[in-house]
Amino acid sequence: MEEKELIQDLSEKIGGRFSVSLGINLDRGDSREVFKWFLASILYGTRISETIASNTYHEFERSGVLSPDSILETGWHGLVEILDAGGYVRYDFKTATKLLEVMKDLKERFKGDLNVLHAQAEGPRDLEARLMGLGKGIGPTTANIFLRELRDVWEKADPLPQDLAAMAARNLGLVQATERRETLSELRAIWEANAIAGKRFSDFESALVRLGKDYCRRMRCAACPMADLCERG
């Protein structure tokens, strides 16, 4: 199969950006939409299922709690109620505390606007450091999830690909590199040569993350919709 056909197949069968599936539009870099994705990324960044994290984000949406101010106004007990309603029970107390700390810091240091944080960053690595400096609990995984879908939206968003994406790309025979920076370069070159109209590189990368998370890592080869293209099999 040609690379362009493989990428199209991957997009149709596996899906793309997680933000799009949540109804969040990052394409214009609107501060409100960027913040929504930041909140979702915090939820996804914990060791909890994608379904629970997505359901919990939608509980925040239903409650109208989608800004730093509204999170702070909701308070710890109100946040725990929203988290519990979404099924985020295992990490409810810890996450409520984390959200309050992060929002307080975001408002004090960056006027509650993540676009301001991006503007002040000196480059990709400084951007990651500033994100992880927003209170306790914003670690490399959360920062990576958040920044991955802001590639080509934020100039300085350039995280290394997750191991899950690299694993899936190798299994499909798309890349040979084992070092993540080289993997990113190879994937970018493939996308530039085979870009799908209406999609972004982050859709391609997110599809690889989904494939790696749902199938490759668990070795669910028999159920994988890309199994006939996998070199591991």
| Position 199 in a domain | yes
62: pLDDT strictly greater than 60: yes
d(C-alpha 102, C-alpha 135), whole Å = 5
Residues 36 and 111 in one domain: yes
Residues 25 and 90 in one domain: yes
Of 103, 126, 148, the domain-final residue: 148
Ranges 53-62, 69-78, 122-131, 172-181: which has the least confidence: 172-181
Classify 64 in phi/psi space as left (phi over 0), alpha (psi -120 to 50) or beta. Answer: left
Look up the domain containing 176 and give its range: 3-15+160-229
| Position 37 in a domain | yes
Residues 101 and 201 in one domain: no
Neighbours of 94 (CB within 10 A): 13
Residues 36 and 11 in one domain: no
Residues 49 and 121 in one domain: yes
Residues 83 and 191 in one domain: no
Residues 25 and 114 in one domain: yes
9: pLDDT strictly greater than 90: yes
pLDDT band at residue 231 using 50, 70 and 90 as cut-offs: confident
75: pLDDT strictly greater than 90: yes
d(C-alpha 174, C-alpha 211), whole Å = 13
Classify 224 in phi/psi space as left (phi over 0), alpha (psi -120 to 50) or beta. Answer: beta
Ranges 66-75, 92-101, 129-138: which has the least confidence: 129-138
Compute the half-sphere exposure of residue 192: CA atoms within 13 Å on the CB side of its CA.
Answer: 7
* Across 28-39, average pLDDT: 98
CATH number at residue 108: 1.10.340.30
93: pLDDT strictly greater than 60: yes
pTM: 0.94
Residues 82 and 174 in one domain: no
| Position 155 in a domain | no
85: pLDDT strictly greater than 70: yes
| Position 153 in a domain | no
**Which pLDDT score, from 0 to 100, does residue 1 have?**
67
